[in-house]
Amino acid sequence: MNGDGSRSSAEVYALTGTALALRGAPYKTAGADPNGFDCSGFTWYVFAQHGITLPRDVRQQFQSGTPVTPDRLAPGDLVFFSTVAPGPSHVGISIGGDEFVHAPSSSGVVRVEHLNSGYWSPRLVGVRRVGISN
């Protein structure tokens, strides 16, 4: 992170590149490596590749970093959704615009989706910005 707490474009590019390179990796309950991911295992793994330690659990990840309003969403931010339970129960990584990459159990592989879709938009419960180390 820069001294003002911001992330450089190179840091963001590297982080989102890591996330996108994992597209197609299978879903696996409690998975946290390229052999299989669950949603929080995916975010935990991607950030760990860049020296960022996240908690392993979705709800604990939701407590990490700094809250960001959805209108300030930036690539590399964590996006949280309420899917199977009230509150944050699913997490992905913003890659810019209205797109995010995540490990959804429904499709079985890591993939990119749109935040503004009819499914995801009403389920968004928060955005968090966590630091990317130099």
Is 61 in contact with 40 (CB distance < 8 Å)? yes
> Catalytic pick from 61, 62, 90, 91?
90
Given CA atoms 102, 105, 106, 108 in this order, what sign does their dihedral have?
positive
> Catalytic pick from 15, 39, 52, 130?
39
129 flagged as catalytic: no
Question: Exposed, middle or buried: residue 2 (CB in 10 Å: 0-12, 13-18, 19+)?
Answer: exposed
94 flagged as catalytic: no
> Catalytic pick from 15, 27, 102, 132?
102
Within 13 Å of residue 19, how many CA atoms lie on the same side as its CB?
32
114 flagged as catalytic: no
Residues designated catalytic: 39, 90, 102
